Structure 1
Amino acid sequence: MSGYSSAATLQQLQRKLETLSNNIANSNTVGFKSRSVSFSDVLSSEYTNQPNENRLTPHGLRVGTGARASLTSLSAAQGDVKETDRALDFALTEPSLFFTIATNDGQRLTRDGTFYFSETAGGELSLVTNSGETLLNENGAPIRLPASTISLRLEQAGLIAELADGQEQVIPTFGLTQIGRPQALEAVGENQYVYLQEDAIFGQAQANQVKQRALEQSNVDLSQEMTELISTQRQIQLQARAFSFSDDMAGLVNNIRR
């Protein structure tokens, strides 16, 4: 029984170890949100009470068969905002808001506000992410800028495109998605998410919700993650030893039977 319990727990501890490793690896990733793993007992068996008066076990003794990772939760806590002095860097200042981008697989959400100009087939400019996905405006359409745009400025009226000839043009501002349940966010890679609930609110970005020339840093607490990593490694060592002892005991029993 103990061998099965240790083997089951080892497999689940490996899942926690992978989650911690991913958090640590992304501690410097812009807008990254950490995850944590919660455990619960696997199916327990309750033994029948022994009939003798001097039984060695209490009534209703329950023996578990290990632990399982029951929940991997996302931390939506706001990360530190660091100024960059780059005009195309934007930091969201409210934890429930996400930039909305268009990908080949549909709309995605991201907290990474590192954007770039990209020329479109029509000769205009668009705002894209690190991986080339197009940023959407408040109307749900791709943000389009005049070809002569040299910089952007965020104001209450919207995005102000600064042109090479000194002129300015107001364009629709960022389209932001507000979510109600961070746990319904599914990571799809490239620091992007899909929201699995229908209570998301899409709307216009307000000037106080976005800070220009700044980026939100990862919300990973590196010291806490390292502490959890060491603790998990020790738990893995303990379960591995328990599994080894169980195997040795089974071997002794088999030898006695011979």
Structure 2
Amino acid sequence: MNRTMLTATNTLSQLQKKMDIISNNMSNIDTTGFKRKETYFNDLLAQEFKNQGRDDKEKGRLTPIGIRIGTGAKISQSRMVLSQGSLKTTDRNLDLALKKSDQFFKIRGDQNTIQYTRDGAFYLSPADASGTAMALVNGNGQAVLDESDRPIVINGDISNLSFTENGQLRASTENGGVQTFELGIISVKKPQFFEQKGTNLYALPERLNTLEVTEDDVFTRLDTGLRGNISMQQGVLENSNVELSKEMTDLMNVQRSYQFQARTITMADQMAGLVNGIR
């Protein structure tokens, strides 16, 4: 396989990954609180051939001296975009929307891990067989956590639920009692370290220490004195921040680039056939 084919093949595989990301964005346009991803490309290593013996003869040249031959392009970063989605009113007590784009709810994930989401469509589920205690869960039945990373469990017969703007849950019971819980919420500083875990959940990489960053570098826990930074609204949900027109435009551009690279392979194959046919 000649250099032209190798360069085109390298780029094709990366363009396919970008198309997959765009397709995932478009398929989640109606997913509550979904955050789209954007990809960025960088050139792979290039070789430079000196075709001029004296550099002083190239004075005033604006391009690099010599002939540069690249080896294609690759995706250098796939980053989650934290722009705020529009809000829709549901008038449902357990629907919550975070009004600051960098804030996430804490959820109990698989294998007792902590995961994060912007999806504030919550429900009540029995916490024990007796049915006297109700747990606050997401749409998949996973527990919503408080600021101390404990599941939120309400005891007694609930008569009313209300949430304050700074993330406090107040549960009134039939016997006149009131129970309060502080929802676990974080503020993300470096979303590029978040990994998608499916079902609209995100988590930190398992080997975060190998990236030479800590949890405190990636996000800030909004607890104790920082709860005043939380901005939340009850009875509304956040739509995804996916713009269909932009995603369609990006998809068409990637498809054209893909077609160009595929055509490059075809032309290289034809030229190789002509060379091999010379007698």
1:111 is matched with which residue? 118
**CA shift for structure 1 position 150:** 4.7
1:98 is matched with which residue? 104
Identity of aligned residues (%): 38
1:53-202 to 2 correspondences below 5 Å: 59-105=65-111, 106-121=113-128, 123=131, 124-155=133-164, 158-163=168-173, 165=174, 167-195=176-204, 196=208, 197-199=214-216, 200-202=219-221
2:243 pairs with 212, 221, 240, which one? 221
Q: Provide, for residues 164-199 of structure 1, a one-character-per-residue CA deviation record: whole Å limited to 9, x for no partner.
A: x37351321211112221112111111111135421
CA distance in structure 1 between the partners assigned to 2:153 and 2:193 by the alignment: 31
Task: Give TM-score, length-normalised by structure 2.
Answer: 0.83
Cα gap change, 1:64/1:146 in structure 2, threshold over 3 Å: closer, same or farther? same
User: What letter corresponds to residue 26 of structure 1 in structure 2?
Assistant: N
CA distance in structure 1 between the partners assigned to 2:275 and 2:11 by the alignment: 24
CA distance in structure 1 between the partners assigned to 2:39 and 2:222 by the alignment: 32
CA distance in structure 2 between the partners assigned to 1:76 and 1:114 by the alignment: 19
Q: Is the 8 Å Cα contact of residues 158 and 170 (structure 1) preserved in structure 2?
A: no
Q: Is the 8 Å Cα contact of residues 98 and 232 (structure 2) preserved in structure 1?
A: yes
CA distance in structure 2 between the partners assigned to 1:157 and 1:213 by the alignment: 13
1:54 is matched with which residue? none
CA distance in structure 2 between the partners assigned to 1:169 and 1:245 by the alignment: 74
Tell me, what secondary structure is at the counterpart of 1:28?
A: coil
Tell me, what secondary structure is at the counterpart of 2:85?
A: coil
Higher strand residue share:
1
In the alignment of these two chains, the number of paired residues is 251
Q: Is the 8 Å Cα contact of residues 85 and 241 (structure 2) preserved in structure 1?
A: yes
Q: Is the 8 Å Cα contact of residues 178 and 202 (structure 1) preserved in structure 2?
A: yes
1:209 is the counterpart of 2:228: no
Tell me, what secondary structure is at the counterpart of 1:31?
A: coil
| 5+ residue gaps, structure 1 | 52-57
